Amino acid sequence: MIHQGTAYDLTGPEDAPVVALIHGLGLTRAVWQWLIPDLTKFRVLTYDLIGHGETAPPEGDPTLKDLSDQLADLLDHLQIERAAIVGFSLGGMVARRFAQDHRDRTTALVVLHSAHTRSEKQQSAILYRVDQARDHGPEATVELALQRWYTEEAQATRPDLMDLTRHWVLANKREVYVKLYRILAHGVEEIVAPSPPLTVPTLVLTGDEDTGNGPEMSMAIAEEIPRARLVILKGLRHMALAEAPQAVNRPVVDFLTEVLR
Average pLDDT over residues 161-188: 97
Local structure of residue 39 (DSSP, 8 states)? -
Strands 6-11 and 2-3: antiparallel
| Cross-strand bridge partners of residue 19 | 44, 84
**In CATH, which of 3.40.50.11720, 3.40.50.300, 3.40.50.1820, 3.30.420.40 is domain 2-117+188-259?**
3.40.50.1820
Q: Could you give the CA distance from residue 261 to residue 259 in angstroms, rounded to a whole number?
A: 6
Average pLDDT over residues 170-182: 97
pLDDT tens per residue across span 14-49: 999 999 999 999 999 999 999 999 999 999 999 999
- What percent of the chain has pLDDT above 90? 100
More confident residue, 261 or 12: 12
Q: Could you give the CA distance from residue 83 to residue 76 in angstroms, rounded to a whole number?
A: 11
- Closest C-alpha among 5, 136, 132, 135 to residue 59: 5
Mean pLDDT of the chain: 97
191 has a pLDDT exceeding 90: yes
Rg of the chain in Å (alpha carbons): 17
pLDDT value of position 104: 97
pLDDT tens per residue across span 45-76: 999 999 999 999 999 999 999 999 999 999 99
Chain centroid offset of residue 193 CA: 19
